[in-house]
Each structure stands twice: as structure tokens, then as C-alpha cells.
Amino acid sequence: MALANNKAQCFTCHRENNTYTCEGCSKRFCIIHLTEHQQILNDELNHITNEYNEFRHIFNEQKQNPYNLSLIKQINEWERNSIEIILQKAQECRKIVIEYSPTFFNDIEKKFNDLSEQIKQIHQENDFNERNLNYLRNQLLEITQELNNPSKISIKEDSQSFINDISIISSKKPKFNKWKQNAVIVAGGNGKGQQLNQLNEPEGIFIDENKNIFIAVCFNHRIVEWKYNAIEGQIIAGRNGMGNRVDQLNLPTDVIVDEQNYSIIIADFNNRRVIQWLNQNQQILINNIGCYGLAMDKHGFLYVSDWKKSEVRRWKMGEYNNEGIVVAGGNGKGNQLNQFNSPTFMFVDEDQSVYVSDRDNDRVVKWVKDAKEGRIVAGGNRQGKNLNQLYYPQGVIVDDLSRIYVADWGNHRIIRWCEGKAEGEIVVGENGQGNQSNQLYYPRGLSFDDEGNLYVVDSGNHRIEKFEVIL
């Protein structure tokens, strides 16, 4: 609370006197009533702290027993009303909620821990005002409401059936388990070359909301957009051949689309720069960087993996005149948990955790926000072809159940890992190296579309394949 000593009317007693301004409410008080005002704020802080402690007790109880969730209680009531015929359906729904509960509790616990630290800091510093208290109160109300009435998962009743059927509705993408093992070629597949219906060792891809595919065609030194169901692509960046002019590219490895302005952001690997193309106008965003992989989070921050420096840096969109912030690695090349050895592709989740394919360490490492080191979530058991091993991992994506999908480059397969598990499971590519529709040859980039179809950059076969989800 900053104090400004001036003669003015006290807000409480209305007398002209030396008064002091409260930064929180901008009102002026004499010294007596300023002390009273501070006491009121202290009382409010204590009240919020008591509510916080009560919430912690309720949260811990529910976390220990997710069967006390309000959703489970609704399911139980429906089960009793609909007797034996719906017992099986109820059990299926309970299973979905229980499987979802770790993600649900983790999301709340992160917010809860952040709030705990803020309250602790306010107590320690004893420097707060109404704004701080309103913020704390709103944060506590928000997580309390989320605990009691989850916003990302709910019950949907279907009254059209002879009993009121129910199912679990989640704002997250559906739970995809299997894909057809014979892929559909959606780009390339006409041999290696420079024609518009050909690709030459593609690497990174981006799928927009219309299922258009943006491809970093590395050895054609260009970015190609392949419209949905098109028979050929169109060059949208790099049509002037290999070079280092601003209108040229040299071995681009990854591409993302900023769908706010529909600009194309490219990792121009051999030119050591990240460049943006907007309506055929070019702007170099970041220079002198061993850029390989790109990602953008929901807040608009741009992440770049630096192959040479073995690190990942983050920039705020529009603010590229600085060195960015190291969010993973940055401790030189190596195999320790705070190091990388040739990081390539990456994925950033809703919590700004960064998943990085640590290629030459044959592992995928997850760095949570503000962490000092990562933790291995796939591979890390030396190079090999067993289910607990990877061989030069490349593309990495994570679904809404936090399952990690990895393009296992040297094993010609896509493998899925659940965090904390000792080994992964093969999703597609169980049939070894080859060019058949159920085979891959050095896969690189990965992506999902909004229906859950899996797209794989089948680099050695110079094609993009779509493995359709089995619903």
C-alpha cells in the first residue's frame, strides 16, 4: 500500500487532515482510519485463507476417492432409476470418468498449487490490497466451481431411447485407440521429384481446420499446401529455388500456420533462421539459430528447437528482437535430464509443457513449465527396436489424455507411450520398412486432424499418409 502524504478529506470520517492513498481502492484515509482499513483487509485475507483451507480439505477428500465426484453421483442416480438394463452402460461411463479423473485433478491441482504459492507470498510479504484479495477470491471461486461442476466433461442424456441413455461428453477430443492399418495417400506418392504432385523427403507438416496440409518439403526447398482431396499441391513459399535470399529457402524442416493472420512460419534450417511468409511477403523473425522444430501454444508463444545449441527457446509473438527464453535444455549437448543431443520436433500442451524428440539420445523428454530439467516419457533405454526403445525419434504429438505419439524413425513405425509406463505400443507401422499402404519408411512429422485421423510424413516414400481413425 503506497502512501501519499497530503491534506485531503478522509473517506471514512470526512475530516480535512493528512491523508494517505490506498493503491487498491484509490481512496484516501487519515492515519486512524487507514489502520482500520488495513485491519479490514487483513480480516478479508484471513477469510479467504479459511475458505482456501476448506477447499483444500474437500479437494483432498475427493482426490482420494474420485467416486465422490458429482458426475459419478449423477451416474449412480441414473443407474438406480433405470434398473438392470442400464448397469453395463453405467459401468462404462464410470470407467471413462475414472480414467479422466487424473487429468481432471492434475488440472485443478496445478491451479491450486499456484494459488497456494500466491497466498503464501502475500502472507510473507504482508503487502496487499483489494485488487490482490479480489484476484485470490476469484481464483478460489473458479477452482471451486471447476471441482464441483467440471467444465470439460459432463453428462448427456438421450431421451429418444426407451430408457434415458447417458454418455460422457467432454470438451476434449474423443478418445482414439485404433486406426486403420492401411493408409490413404493424401499428398505425394508419385515418386521423388519436383513436380507439383511429387515430394522430396518431406519433414514437418501442419493440418489446418479445413484439413489442408502444409508440408515442409526439405529437399525441394519449399513449403507446399495440399488442399483437402487435391491431386497436387501448390507452392506457397520457396518457389525461387534453394538460396539465402529472403524469398528463398534452404532445407526447411518444419512449418506451422498462425491461423490468427494465416501467415506461414518456417524453420529455414540451412539458412539458420525462422522466417514468416504472409501473402508472398517475407519477414525474418529470428536469425542465427539452428532451428529444426516449431510449435505455438494457445497463448501465441512461438517455440523453436535449436539443433546446434541443444535447447528450446520461446518468443512472444511480435517480439523477436531479443534472444527469447530458454524453456528446455540450454546446458550444452549431453544425455543428462537437463540436456539434449540434437533435439528435433516438439509439441507444447495446454499447460505449456514442452515434449521434445531428443533424437541422438533416442528418447522423448517432457519439460513442464519453468522446470530446471525434463523427465523421460518415451524411450531412454538405448537405441533399439524393443517396445521400450526408440531409434532416432522424430515427430511427436500428445493427445488430450496425455498419451505421447512418436515417429520412431529408424524402426519405421509410430509408437504410443503413456507417461509413466515402461514401454509403448505400436499404433501403425507394425509391418516393417516398405512402401505398401501398411508400411512406413523413415517417418518424420506427425499430426492429427479434428476427427482424430493420424497423418504421418512418410519421408523415405516421399508421401503423406492418413491413417483413418476407427470410431
d(C-alpha 153, C-alpha 102), whole Å: 13
99 three-class SS: helix
Say how many C-beta atoms besides its own lie within 10 A of residue 42's C-beta.
12
Question: Tell me: the pLDDT tens digits for 382-441?
Answer: 999 999 999 999 999 999 888 999 999 999 999 999 988 899 999 999 899 999 999 999
Identify the pLDDT of residue 247: 94
Is residue 59 within 8 Å of 52, Cβ to Cβ?
no
| Predicted structure pTM score | 0.67
User: Sorting pLDDT into bands at 50, 70 and 90, what band is 175?
Assistant: low
DSSP secondary structure of 119-157: HHHHHHH----HHHHHHHHHHHHHHHHHHHS-SSEEEEE
Identify the pLDDT of residue 3: 47
Residue type, 140: L
Identify the pLDDT of residue 2: 46
Whether residue 211 has pLDDT greater than 90: yes
Identify the pLDDT of residue 81: 72
User: Sorting pLDDT into bands at 50, 70 and 90, what band is 166?
Assistant: low
Question: C-alpha dihedral over 170, 173, 174, 175, to 10 degrees?
Answer: -110
Question: Tell me: the pLDDT tens digits for 307-356?
Answer: 999 999 999 888 888 899 999 999 999 999 999 999 999 999 999 999 99
Whether residue 168 has pLDDT greater than 70: no
Say how many C-beta atoms besides its own lie within 10 A of residue 341's C-beta.
17
Is residue 19 within 8 Å of 10, Cβ to Cβ?
yes
Phi/psi class of residue 318: alpha, beta or left (left: φ > 0; alpha: ψ in -120 to 50)? left
Contacts of 93 (CB under 8 A, 6+ apart): 75, 166, 167, 168
User: Sorting pLDDT into bands at 50, 70 and 90, what band is 160?
Assistant: low
d(C-alpha 363, C-alpha 329), whole Å: 14
Contacts of 273 (CB under 8 A, 6+ apart): 284, 285, 286, 287, 288, 289, 291
